[in-house]
Amino acid sequence: MRGPHPARDRRGHRRHPDAGLPHPHPHPPRPPHRARGRVSAVPEELDEEQVTCRTFRNHGPSEATPLEVVARVAQDSGLWVATVESLTSGRVASRLGEGENASTWFRGGIVAYDEQVKVELLGVDTGELVSTRCAEQMATGAARVLRADAVVALTGVGGPGPDEDKPPGTVVMAVRVGDVTTFATFLIGGPPDEVVAGATDRAVELLASALRRQGGLDDRVR
């Protein structure tokens, strides 16, 4: 899933060193993007992280969008960001690639749709794949494979039927920033395409929430 990286970007800056931490590349934020998807219900184990990432959804014209927060913190902190996805099949990676100056902070993504890819490439345990343990192992494995500082991982049941005794629309996420991992579980209503769209939005929001704490930013980054 990895492609070769050029030694330098189009501005002549080094994309990443062979070893050590990447260098920061501060740039101004980009205009907001249009959110998609909806959350029709959430399970009883709704936690603080799920509530936190919801604060982005009704941003005004002077407030930062989740993607703007990700881009700004990643550039200011010198972090390489990556994704590892199952049910969303690369949609989150595509969204992050739209971010401002993404070539300076977006490392890439892994689509680990099949169980064998999760196990052999990422080191995920066999067994229950729609779980926080699986999401955490996906994030850890992707950080290792892609040499990323921050990773958002998604696994779940896109539908239309249940899987692993989980209802359709169940989405489990993990965001790893350094050695700290944040988890969230959602139940997203609608047909599979709406589940995927909603999961993509929630993933960027959760990543922004975790990175915002990393960068010391609040919800109204101007």
- State the residue range of the domain holding 85: 48-56+64-215
Residue 149's CATH number: 3.90.950.20
Q: What counts of helices (H) and strands (E) characterise the chain?
A: 6, 5
| pLDDT tens digits, 188-204 | 999 999 999 999 999 99
* 31 lies in some domain: no
Q: Considering only CA atoms, which of 79, 97, 194, 206 is closest in space to residue 152? A: 206
- Quickly count: other Cβ atoms within 10 Å of residue 100's Cβ: 18
| % of the chain at pLDDT higher than 70 | 68
Sorted by sequence, the CB contacts under 8 Å of residue 173 that are 6+ apart come out as 135, 152, 153, 154, 183, 184, 185, 186, 199, 202, 203, 206
- Does the pLDDT of residue 4 top 80, yes or no? no
* 147 lies in some domain: yes
| pLDDT tens digits, 72-102 | 999 999 999 999 999 999 999 999 999 999 9
| Residue 111 to residue 86: CA distance in whole angstroms | 6
- Does the pLDDT of residue 216 top 70, yes or no? no
Q: Write down the mean pLDDT value for the chain.
A: 80
Q: Considering only CA atoms, which of 135, 126, 121, 131 is closest in space to residue 85? A: 135
Against a cut of 0.85, is the pTM above it? no
| Residue 175 to residue 102: CA distance in whole angstroms | 18
Question: CA 174: distance to chain centroid?
Answer: 8
Q: Considering only CA atoms, which of 202, 175, 205, 1 is closest in space to residue 88? A: 202
| pLDDT tens digits, 27-52 | 444 433 333 344 433 433 434 333 33
Q: 81: helix, coil or strand?
A: strand
Question: In degrees to the nearest 10, what's the CA dihedral of 127, 156, 106, 125?
Answer: 0
Band (pLDDT 50/70/90 cuts) for residue 214 is confident
* 128 lies in some domain: yes
* 8 lies in some domain: no
| 156 against 19, higher pLDDT | 156
Sorted by sequence, the CB contacts under 8 Å of residue 214 that are 6+ apart come out as 73, 77, 79, 150, 177, 178
* 96 lies in some domain: yes
* 25 lies in some domain: no
Rounded to a whole number of angstroms, the distance between the first and last alpha carbons of the chain is 36
* 12 lies in some domain: no
- Counting the structural domains of the chain, the total is 1
Q: 154: helix, coil or strand?
A: strand
Q: Please tell me the least confidently modeled range out of 82-86, 103-107, 120-124, 212-216.
A: 212-216
